[in-house]
Amino acid sequence: MEKHLQVISVLQWVVTFLAMGAACTVLLIYIFCTDCWLIAAMYTAWLIVDWNTPKQGGRRSSWVRNWTVWKYFRDYFPVKLIKTHDLLPSRNYIFGYHPHGIFCFGAFCNFGTEATGFSKKFPGIKPSLATLAGNFRLPVLRDYLMSGGICPVNRNSIDYLLSCNGTGNAVVIVVGGAAESLHCTPGMNCVTLRNRKGFVRLALQKGSDLVPVYSFGENDVYKQVIFEEGTYWRAIQKKLQKILGFAPCLFHGSGLFFNNSWGIVPFCKPITTIVGEPITVPKIEDPTEEMVDLYHDMYIRSLQSLFDRFKTRYGLKESDILHVQ
C-alpha cells in the first residue's frame, strides 16, 4: 500500500504538469455552454482581477506545501536535500538549479513543497521556484502552482521578489531550461550554462547572492531518445521549443502496473540535491559585461567544485566530469 501511494503521488504530479492546464481550460469553455455558465463567468471575472498576482509574489499556502502527498512523492525516488552552508535571512538569493531533467522532480520536491524540510534547514529563507510564465495563464493550474510558492520565470516576477518583498527570499531558477532537457539521459552530466548570463546580471542588479545547486540523479529517472544535432527530428524539437517555450522530449519511464513495461511513471532512482556555498554579489544597477562575465565564471567554477566534491558519494566515479556547454 505504501508503494502504491508513492506511485499515485508522483503520477498525479506528472499528469498535472502535462494535462491539468489544458483540461481545465477546455472544462471552463464547456461550462460556458451549459446552464452553469454563471459559475464560469464568475471565475473568469475573478481570473481577470487576479491576473497579476503571480507577478507580485504569488499566493503560497503553507497547508498545501505540507500536504502528506508530498512526503509520498519524496519517498518514491527518494529525494533528499543536502545543506552545505548557512544562508542569512538578511540577504536575498538566486539559486541556480542544475540539471533540468525532464520534469525537475528534485526542484519541485525541495523548493515547491516542505517534504524535504527546506524551512527547517534554512530558517528565515522563503524559496520561490520559477517556471514557465505560460503556466500561469491557464485556469486552476495557476492557483495550484502558486499555492506551492511557484512563480513565473520572468523579469517582473523575479524583480518583485528580490526588490519589493523584503529579505530572506530565494528565487530558484532552472538555468538550463528547455534546451537542457533535450540532453538529459541516465549517466549524462551536462548542463547548459556557458551562454546563460541573464541570472548573473539580475543578481548584480539586485545585489542578490548566487547559490549553485546540483541534483544528482535528476537525469536518471527517465530514459530519453537523444536526436543528433543537424537531424530532422532535432530541428523539429528546437522549432517547437521556440514556439511552445518547452522542449517536446521523447522519453519513457516504467509502466503503472509492471516495472518492466514502458510508461510515464519515473524510475525509482535517488535524487540528491546539494545546495552549495553562496557567492556574495555586490549591488550594481548597471553592471558592465566584464563584471557579468567575472561573476558568471565564479559561478561556473563554484558549480564544478560542488559537483566534484559530492560526485563519488552519490553514485558517480572519480573520473566523471561535469560538462558545461
User: Strand 169-174 and strand 126-131: pairing?
Assistant: parallel
Region of residue 187 (phi > 0: left; psi between -120 and 50: alpha; otherwise: beta): left
Is pLDDT at 183 greater than 90 in this prediction?
A: no
Provide mean pLDDT across the span 96-116: 95
When mean pLDDT is compared across 3-17, 145-159, 249-263, 274-288, the lowest value belongs to 249-263
Cell numbers of 179, please? 534546451
Give the CA angle between residues 98, 100, 103 to the nearest 5°. 140
Is pLDDT at 259 greater than 70 in this prediction?
A: no
Confidence of residue 234 (pLDDT cuts 50, 70, 90): confident
Whether the full predicted model's pTM is greater than 0.85, yes or no, is: yes
Q: Give Rg (Cα) of the chain.
A: 20
Please name the residues in contact with 253: beta carbons below 8 A apart, sequence gap of 6 or more: 221, 222, 223, 262, 263, 264, 265, 266, 267
Provide mean pLDDT across the span 244-265: 77
Is pLDDT at 237 greater than 80 in this prediction?
A: no
SS3 category, 182? coil
Is pLDDT at 250 greater than 80 in this prediction?
A: no
φ, ψ of residue 324 in degrees (nearest 5): -105, 120
Is pLDDT at 261 greater than 80 in this prediction?
A: no
Q: Across-strand partners of 57?
A: none
19 to each of 14, 47, 232, 258, 273, how far by Cα in Å? 8, 20, 27, 23, 27
Per-residue pLDDT reduced to its tens digit, 33-47: 999 999 999 999 999
When mean pLDDT is compared across 182-186, 217-221, 234-238, the lowest value belongs to 234-238
Per-residue pLDDT reduced to its tens digit, 125-151: 999 999 989 899 999 999 999 999 999
Is pLDDT at 75 greater than 90 in this prediction?
A: yes
Is pLDDT at 169 greater than 70 in this prediction?
A: yes
Distance of CA 158 to the CA centre of its chain: 14
Is pLDDT at 102 greater than 70 in this prediction?
A: yes
The sheet carrying 262-263 orders its strands as: 223-224, 251-254, 262-263
DSSP string, 103-155: T-HHHHHHHSSSTT-HHHHSTT-EEEEEE-GGGGGSTTHHHHHHHTTEEESSH
Q: Which fold has domain 1-324?
A: Glycerol-3-phosphate (1)-acyltransferase (3.40.1130)
Confidence of residue 258 (pLDDT cuts 50, 70, 90): low
Is pLDDT at 318 greater than 80 in this prediction?
A: yes
Confidence of residue 18 (pLDDT cuts 50, 70, 90): confident
Domain ranges of the chain: 1-324
Is pLDDT at 191 greater than 80 in this prediction?
A: yes
pLDDT at 51 (0 to 100)? 95
Mean pLDDT of the chain: 92
Residue that is written with C-alpha cell 548570463 in the block: 197
pLDDT at 267 (0 to 100)? 93
Is pLDDT at 325 greater than 70 in this prediction?
A: yes
SS3 category, 305? helix
When mean pLDDT is compared across 186-190, 195-199, 204-208, 284-288, the lowest value belongs to 186-190
Is 207 within 8 Å of 297 (Cβ atoms)? no
